[in-house]
Chain A
Amino acid sequence: MSGEKPSSGALALRCANLHRHLGQGEGRVHVLKGVSFEARRGEVCAIVGPSGCGKSTLLYLLGLLDRPDDGQIEINGRLMSNTDDAARTAARGEHIGFVFQFHFLMLEFTALENVMMPMRKLGRLTPSEMKARAHSLLESVGLGAKTHRLGTQLSGGEQQRVAVARALANQPTILLADEPTGNLDVKNSALVFDLLTRLAKEQGQAVVLVTHNPEIAQRCDFTRPMRDGLFV
């Protein structure tokens, strides 16, 4: 991991003509119908739209958590849509950070351990460096005093802030957030969004977030509305 700030404005993520069906047999639905999209470093993009329009499905495809039925996905210029599981997993660990709606902390672990977990897998830092970085990230999300609390001992807002810190742990170039404030009150929503955008801008990351919250969407650099599996 380099300490240098990545060049702002460079293309981090690109997808073209993405198709995805979900379900089987008669229940099979064409969720994404040829979606194309780009995200650049230092920009925050909101994908908005009604439930079931394909926002989250697109996000999982962009994050290489799922495979498209057709179309291309490039991460930092490298075509990833046709690669094997190992390459996709490696790309997730190195280039992509996720924040989910239900924060998905590992509750048996402390806040510090949760943040250190991606770093431990990537193995670029020494244990003491990992610890220092995790402390620093938790400080920056306002949880410096609660680093040793288990996930179960944190409030919903605090858990989501730990999730943000964890997503930034490996200094990914892309940060994907699936309704990161959807489960939080207004105050915590604003706090988490500010954190996400501030830290991402500071580190020159491309942020793509899916949201239903119009206030959050308005505060992004640009918004892409979706309907019936297509950007409108």
Chain B
Amino acid sequence: MSPNLRIAYRFLTAKKRAMLMSLACTVLGVGLFIVTQATTSGFEKFFTKTILGINGAIRIEDKIQDTMRSIMAEGSTDSYFAQREGVKYIEGIDEPQLVADAVRSFPNVRGISAVVRGNVQITSSFKTEDAQVFGINLDDHIRVSDLAEQITNGKLSDYRDSPNGTLIGRVLADRLQIGVGDSISIAARGQSRRARVTAIFETGYRDADKTNVYMHLPEARSLLKKPAGATLLQISLIDPDRAPQDAARMEQVLRHGAKPWQEREKSWLEVFRALRISTGITVTVFTLIASLAMFNTLAMIVLEKTKDIAILRSMGYERRDITQIFLWQAAIVLAIGTALGALFGWSVTWLVEQVPLNLTGIFKSDHLIVVRDPNHYFAAIATAVVMVMVASLIPSRRAARLEPGDIVRGTAQ
């Protein structure tokens, strides 16, 4: 152990109460930082997972037709936004198979599902509700969504084997008061047909559960009178975080509008970001208190140890040794405080996860959702280290500036 560290340790342990106060503040600061980031990020990640599980990472919906303006712009710039300004979007995809084949050449693409979508009215024995029908090829759609895991009643295999089978959202099924095996009437564009409820799904996203109905693609084409083409292509990615770059490239290459999930859900993601920042600021106050407590402790030790500082200086200890002795004290508190704080944060995060809570709305959960991300721990520790060390610099430098001659003469200010 270096002489300075040894002295720092003894100085610190001589002021147990003040040291414990600084330690407690550091533990609280680090722990609460971790807990709040774990919960806010948890909800954000869960929301993202839900959204990706319903709508995929990218949706290609519209064909792009150049206008005179965009044709002129293309010569001068290649950027995504410049081209977007001067183009016309034509609803739907005329050649979904060709576009899908082209999309498959993107290395990050995991699955593609061609979807025909339309507004319908669904009538049960009790009432009629507006809904949106999605004509899908089941196997394709399972690859781009979490539909298989979202089934709460009935079996997906029954749907696969039943040509007039439908999958209905939980909220819509409740409103229509129907269950698996019941018959419903689906009406669109002046015609209606009977269908059977083969399974009920629940995404957790209330809007989807209230309106979405899945049926086989040929049935949907027939009902919506769309014998060819597709309303959209739903795409899942290996790395969903790269969706904006992939979507921009797809739009350029395929001449179809491609929207990444980050753009589709921008407003919610902004809410989560603001929430994360505001809670981050709140808990940083705890770390600030920890740094003030450390400042106070060190300032007290400097006052009480002026004679010891003079002795050390008379023995040949340099100013930087004195600074180091006081910074070591902060470092000892930080090392113990951040380790205990991380443990405290992990434990409270675990406890929070056990709290039963019935959440519905933009997602559904029966408990608080948390994320254990090492980055939260690094951020909490880094914040504490920076703030406490900065606060410790002032008393440390003050101690180093003391003149030994002044101290032994008793005139140190």
Contact = CB atoms under 8 A, between A and B. Distances in A.
A122 B316 contact: yes
Contacts of A93: 315-317
Contacts of A231: none
Contacts of B13: 108
A117 B315 contact: yes
Interface of B: 3, 6-7, 10-11, 13-14, 307-308, 310-319, 321, 403-406, 408-409, 411
Interface stretch (A58-66, A74-82, A201-209, A212-220): A58-66
A66 to B, nearest CB: 3
Contacts of A118: 315-316
Contact of A89 (B6, B310, B317): B317
Contact of B405 (A60, A89, A96, A166): A60
B117 to A, nearest CB: 77
Contact of B316 (A100, A109, A121): A121
A63 B315 contact: no
A65 B315 contact: no
A29 B287 CA distance: 48
Contacts of B6: 120
Interface in A43-64: 56-57, 60-61, 63
Contacts of B408: 60, 65, 100, 104, 178
Interface residues on A, range: 20 to 34
A90 interface: yes
Contacts of A109: 10
A104 B311 contact: yes
A57 B316 contact: no
Given A104-B307, A106-B308, A108-B14, A65 B3 contact: no
Nearest to A169: B315
Given A109-B10, A170-B316, 19 more contacts: A60-B408, A65-B310, A65-B313, A65-B314, A65-B405, A66-B403, A67-B405, A89-B317, A89-B318, A89-B319, A92-B313, A93-B316, A98-B315, A100-B311, A104-B308, A104-B310, A108-B14, A121-B316, A166-B315
Contacts of B307: 104
A67 B314 CA distance: 14
Given A65-B313, A104-B311, A106-B308, A60 B409 contact: yes
Contacts of B316: 89-90, 92-94, 118, 121-122, 170
A183 B408 CA distance: 15
A145 interface: no
A98 B314 CA distance: 7
B196 to A, nearest CB: 84
Which residue, B313, B403, B405, B411, has most C-beta atoms of chain A within 10 A?
B405
A61 B314 CA distance: 12
The 5 closest A-B pairs by CB, nearest first: A93-B316, A66-B405, A65-B405, A120-B3, A108-B10
Contacts of A98: 314-315
A85 interface: yes
Contacts of B404: 65-66
A54 to B, nearest CB: 12
Contact of B321 (A22, A57, A108, A121): A121
